[in-house]
Structure 1
Amino acid sequence: MQKTIERYHKYAKGGQTSNTEGEQNLQQLKGESEIMSQKIELIQLSQRKLLGYGLSSCTLDELQEIDSQLERSLRNIRARKAELFMENIEHLKAKERLLKEENERLCHQMSGQEKEVVTHCSQNSQISSEIDVETELFIGLPEMRC
Structure 2
Amino acid sequence: MVRGKTQIKRIENSTSRQVTFSKRRKGLLKKAFELSVLCDAEVALIIFSPSGKLFEFSSSSAASTIERYRKSIKNLRPSKRMDVEHLQSETDLHTPHFEEEVANLRKKIELLEETKRKFLGDGLDSSSIDELEQIEHQLEKSLSIIRSRKILFSCEQINQLKEEEKILRRENAELREKYEERQLELSIGQQFLSLEQGKEVETQLFIGLPDS
1:106 and 1:29 map into 2 onto residues whose CA distance is 74
Q: Which runs of 4+ in 1 moved over 2 A?
A: 14-18, 21-24, 122-133
**Long gaps (5+) in structure 1:** 6-13, 134-144
Could you tell me which residue of structure 1 aligns to residue 96 of structure 2?
27
The structure with the greater share of residues assigned to strand is 2
- Provide the aligned length of Structure 1 versus Structure 2: 126
Could you tell me which residue of structure 2 aligns to residue 136 of structure 1?
none
Is 1:110 the counterpart of 2:118? The answer is no
Higher-RCO chain (CA-CA 8 Å, sequence separation at least 6): 1
Residue by residue over 1:54-91, the C-alpha shift from the partner in whole angstroms, topping out at 9 and shown as x without a partner, is 11111111111111100000000110111111111111
Could you tell me which residue of structure 1 aligns to residue 87 of structure 2?
17
Q: CA RMSD in A?
A: 2.6
Deviation at 1:122, TM superposition (A): 2.3
Q: Provide the TM-score with structure 2 as the length reference.
A: 0.53
Is 1:2 the counterpart of 2:72? The answer is no
Residue by residue over 1:114-137, the C-alpha shift from the partner in whole angstroms, topping out at 9 and shown as x without a partner, is 00111112233344456389xxxx
1:39 and 1:18 map into 2 onto residues whose CA distance is 30
The structure with the largest alpha-carbon Rg is 1
2:146 and 2:138 map into 1 onto residues whose CA distance is 12
**Long gaps (5+) in structure 2:** 1-8, 18-82, 205-210
1:1-146 aligned at under 5 Å gives the runs 2=10, 16-17=86-87, 19=89, 21-128=90-197, 131=201, 146=212
Pair 29,88 (structure 1): closer, same or farther in 2 beyond 3 Å: same
Deviation at 1:18, TM superposition (A): 5.7
2:91 and 2:141 map into 1 onto residues whose CA distance is 47
The structure with the greater share of residues assigned to helix is 1
1:126 and 1:22 map into 2 onto residues whose CA distance is 108
Pair 102,75 (structure 1): closer, same or farther in 2 beyond 3 Å: same
2:185 and 2:11 map into 1 onto residues whose CA distance is 84
Q: Provide the TM-score with structure 1 as the length reference.
A: 0.75
Deviates more, 1:84-93 or 1:117-126: 117-126
